[in-house]
Amino acid sequence: MTPRPGETIGTLVIPRLGLRLPLGEGVARQHLDRGPGHYPWTWLPGQGETVAIAGHRTTRGAPFRELPGLERGDAIYIVMRRRLGGRSFRYRVTGEAVLRPDEGLPLIRDRGYERLVLTTCHPPGSATRRYVVFALPSQT
C-alpha cells in the first residue's frame, strides 16, 4: 500500500536523543512543519533499499536538533502503522557526513541493500549544508 502525502506512516524512535515522533509521508514544508518526513521517492522500511527521512533542526519543534549527538552503534527504530504492515524496524548508526545540498540527494539513491538515511540542515539556522546520518538494519 502506498502512503498518501501528509499521512502519518509510523513512529520514529531514537532512544539516545529521547525522541519518539510521528513520522509523516513527504518532505515539503507543510509536511516537515508537522515533524520528520519520509522522502516519498525512497523505499519504506523492510523493502530492501534506501529509506530516507528529513527533519527540521531549528524550527517547528526542531526534532533533529540533536542529530549530531548520535554515535556509531546507536539504535534507531521505525514502527510502521498497521495500515502499512505494522512492523517495527531497528537500525544501527554506521556514520555521518556534512554535505552541500546538491551532494545530499545522490546519497539517498538506492544502493542495492537496505539502509536508513536521516537528513537535516547544517549548521543550525542555515540551509547551506546537510547533516546526514547513515544506519543499517540490525537484528540486535
Note the pLDDT of residue 104: 66
32 φ/ψ angles, rounded to the nearest 5 degrees: -70, -25
User: For residue 18, is it within any domain?
Assistant: yes
CATH code at 66?
2.40.260.10
- Looking at 20-124, list the stretches that DSSP marks H as alpha helix, in order from N- to C-terminal side: 29-32, 101-107
Residue 74 contacts residue 92 (beta carbons within 8 Å): yes
pTM to 2 decimal places: 0.93
The domain total for the chain is: 1
Joined together, the cell numbers standing for residue 19 give 525522541
User: For residue 3, is it within any domain?
Assistant: no
Please name the residue that has the C-alpha cell 557526513. 97
Give pLDDT tens digits along the chain (140 positions).
789 999 999 999 999 999 999 999 999 888 988 999 999 999 999 999 999 999 988 777 789 999 999 999 999 999 999 988 899 999 999 999 999 888 767 777 788 999 999 999 888 878 888 999 999 999 76
**Cα separation, 104 vs 37, whole angstroms:** 16
| Residue span of the structural domain in which 69 resides | 8-137
Nearest C-alpha neighbor of 42 from the set 23, 29, 20, 17:
23
